[in-house]
């Protein structure tokens, strides 16, 4: 399972737009979006009149994008959607709650992190980029993410 955000298009001025978090299931036969959550910034969730005017239920409160992702992943796992691992971008990789939920459920994960993300090691916390640079060449294995329009995606 993986989820992703739609591409953002920036305008010269502020516009009303909807931002969603999607859960996508990938398997040997292909992939499909299986869940979605509407992301509402605090400026919306704190303005109940605006929410009412937009038809947003009263019980909807602010949730971060990683919290929405975690909610969808838990729903899918609870519905017995088969999954051995989850992949997500660095917005989610920085969220310790998502990692904890996946570890508690024994689900593998590949979550990107920012280069300055602190990684706990037996020698103490270290930045991700520093830790990666300290690993010897033979510790790395280059894998393909599949063929793309311009060849293999390494």
pTM of the complete model: 0.76
d(CA 36, CA 39): 9
Question: Rounded to 5 degrees, what are φ and ψ at 42?
Answer: -55, -35
**46-91 tens-digit pLDDT:** 999 999 998 989 999 999 999 999 999 999 999 999 999 999 999 9
Q: Is the dihedral of CA 42, 47, 50, 55 positive or negative?
A: positive
Residue 3 near residue 21, CB atoms below 8 Å = yes
Cα-to-chain-centroid distance, residue 70: 8
Residue 50 near residue 99, CB atoms below 8 Å = no
């Amino acid at each position: 399972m993986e989820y992703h955000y739609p591409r953002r298009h920036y305008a010269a001025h502020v516009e009303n737009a909807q931002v969603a978090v999607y859960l996508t299931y990938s398997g040997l036969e292909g992939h499909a979006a299986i869940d979605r959550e509407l992301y509402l910034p605090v400026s919306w969730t704190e303005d109940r009149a605006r929410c009412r005017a937009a038809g947003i239920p009263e019980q909807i409160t602010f949730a971060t994008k990683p919290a929405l992702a975690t909610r969808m992943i838990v729903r899918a796992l609870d519905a017995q959607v088969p999954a051995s691992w989850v992949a997500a971008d660095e917005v989610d990789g920085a969220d310790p709650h998502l990692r904890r939920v996946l570890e508690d459920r024994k689900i593998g994960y590949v979550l990107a992190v920012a280069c300055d993300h602190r990684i706990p090691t037996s020698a103490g916390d270290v930045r991700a980029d520093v830790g990666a640079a300290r690993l010897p060449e033979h510790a790395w294995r280059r894998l393909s993410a599949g063929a793309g329009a311009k060849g293999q995606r390494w």
